[in-house]
């Protein structure tokens, strides 16, 4: 039987590539389509593996006339042109729930790191400090947490926060059915009611710069912002000003605009903690995402039903 050809247009682990290569002819383009394979035969490509950040455009789909399947590695899919896929008869799937527990764990780690000033005090202690870095810092117990977006990841964060004794509220376009935590109508009102504001909503045009100066002003000088969603949701310019002016107490970002290059204006801010878009990465989540990818590729190859199909 002729092996199908798939393009992997994002960085994935060697374990993932190995499993894919045992069943398919794999073209690895970790920097995206058009980034290093000028001889790519578009007529040969049956499937593309991408993610929400890299996506797949209508123009890119047009260059792959035999494309039948797009698999988003992970839960995000905001930059995949679903309308174009439907028009072209290309099926699209993703992998929700494969990394939500890891992302939620990381969100709590960021909340603790920024509120307890762990990174700065670690460095200061290594440089010989002690007495000057033992001042009290805010903690999570008894604090108010606001979550922007209350899907699987937002609710997983809420469960952890409540175990810390936090009081949780959230905002979404409409109240979530079956949810007991208070729903607030918008991000500004949620920020006013929060000591910690966690961004856990999908990316895309509808949420671009949802967290802006008005939201940060409402969060206030004792409030902390955490983003484990997408960089585009937070207005970088407004965040830099809020951190520099101490309009808010601090921020922790796993994602930021302009990834992978950290904006210069953010680099020297002492009240900022950053990690390299790794909230969803753990051995367990990687294994689950690989399994979901392999299963959907196999199902599509056999003409079967896909899990979490989007188009």
Do residue 235 and residue 140 come from a single domain?
yes
128 and 18 together in one domain: no
219 pLDDT above the threshold of 90: yes
pLDDT in tens, 71-126: 999 888 999 999 999 999 999 999 999 999 999 999 999 999 999 999 999 999 99
In a domain, 255, yes or no: yes
Residues 110 and 27 occupy one common structural domain: no
307 within a domain of the structure (yes/no): no
Q: Which domain holds residue 54?
A: 5-98+283-301
Active site residue 78: no
User: Are 132 and 254 in a shared domain?
Assistant: yes
Do 184 and 201 reside in the same domain of the chain? yes
pLDDT of residue 35: 66
Residue 24: which of 283, 284, 300 has the closest Cα?
A: 300
Whether 14 is catalytic is: no
Domain assignment present for residue 306? The answer is no
**What average pLDDT does this structure show over 287-305?**
95
- pLDDT-derived band at 70 (thresholds 50, 70, 90) equals very high
| Same domain as 146, residue 224 | yes
Instruction: Please name the residues in contact with 218: beta carbons below 8 A apart, sequence gap of 6 or more.
Output: 188, 189, 191, 192
Assess if residue 232 is contained within a domain. Answer: yes
Terminal Cα distance for the chain, rounded = 28
Q: 125 with 225, same domain? A: yes
In a domain, 308, yes or no: no
What local confidence, expressed as pLDDT, does residue 42 receive? 87
Per-residue confidence (pLDDT) for residue 19, from 0 to 100: 96
Burial-class residue 116 by CB neighbours within 10 Å (0-12, 13-18, 19+).
middle
CATH of the domain at 186: 3.40.50.720
Count of structural domains, the chain: 2
Is residue 94 domain-shared with residue 120, that is, in the same domain?
A: no
- Tell me, yes or no, whether 262 and 289 share the same domain: no
Tell whether 310 is covered by a domain: no
Entry pTM: 0.93
Same domain, 75 and 119: no
Confidence (pLDDT) at 38: 59
196 found inside a domain: yes
**HEC per residue, the chain:** CCCCEEEECCCCCHHHHHHHHCCCEEEECCCCCCCCCCCCCHHHEEEEEECCCCCECHHHHHCCCCCCEEEECCCCCCCECHHHHHHHCCEEECCCCCCHHHHHHHHHHHHHHHHCCHHHHHHHHHCCCCHHHCCCCCCCCCCEEEEECCCHHHHHHHHHHHHCCCEEEEECCCCCCCCCCCECCCHHHHHHCCCEEEECCCCCHHHCCCECHHHHHHHCCCCEEEECCCHHHECHHHHHHHHHCCCCCEEEECCCCCCCCCCHHHHCCCCEEECCCCCCCCHHHHHHHHHHHHHHHHHHHCCCCCCCECC
Shared domain check, 251 and 224: yes
Catalytic residue among 121, 230, 237, 257: 230
Residues 251 and 241 in one domain: yes
Given 68, 259, 267, 281, the catalytic residue: 259
Predicted local distance difference test score (pLDDT) of residue 75: 86
230 as an active site residue: the answer is yes
What digits encode the pLDDT tens for the residues 30-64?
A: 988 876 655 688 899 999 999 998 999 999 999 99
153 in any annotated domain: yes
**Residue of 23, 116, 209, 277 marked catalytic:** 277
């Amino acid at each position: 039987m002729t092996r199908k050809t798939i393009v992997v247009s994002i960085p994935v682990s060697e374990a993932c590539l190995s499993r894919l290569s045992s069943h398919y002819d794999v073209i690895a383009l970790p920097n995206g389509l058009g980034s290093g394979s000028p001889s790519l035969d578009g007529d040969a490509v049956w499937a593309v593996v991408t993610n929400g950040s890299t996506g797949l455009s209508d123009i890119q789909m047009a260059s792959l006339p035999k494309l039948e399947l797009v698999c988003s590695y992970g839960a995000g899919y905001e930059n995949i042109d679903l309308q174009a896929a439907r028009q072209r008869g290309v099926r699209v799937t993703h992998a929700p729930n494969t990394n939500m527990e890891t992302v939620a764990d990381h969100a709590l780690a960021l909340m603790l790191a920024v509120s307890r000033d762990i990174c700065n005090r670690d460095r200061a202690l290594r440089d010989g400090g002690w007495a000057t870095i033992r001042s009290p810092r805010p903690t999570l117990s008894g604090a108010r947490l606001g979550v922007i977006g209350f899907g699987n990841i937002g609710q997983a964060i809420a469960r952890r926060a409540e175990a810390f004794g936090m009081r949780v509220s959230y905002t979404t376009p409409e109240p979530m059915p079956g949810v007991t935590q208070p729903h607030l109508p918008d991000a500004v009102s949620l920020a006013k009611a929060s000591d910690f504001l966690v961004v856990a909503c999908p990316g895309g045009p509808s949420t671009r710069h949802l967290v802006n100066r008005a939201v940060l002003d409402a969060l206030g000088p004792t409030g902390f912002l955490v983003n484990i969603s997408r960089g585009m949701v937070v207005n970088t310019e407004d965040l830099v000003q809020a951190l520099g002016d101490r309009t808010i107490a601090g921020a922790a970002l796993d994602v930021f605009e302009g990834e992978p290059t950290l904006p210069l204006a953010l680099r020297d801010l002492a009240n900022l903690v950053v990690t390299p878009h790794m909230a969803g990465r753990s051995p367990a989540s990687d294994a689950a995402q690989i399994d979901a990818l392999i299963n959907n590729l196999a199902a599509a190859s056999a003409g079967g039903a896909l899990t979490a199909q989007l188009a």
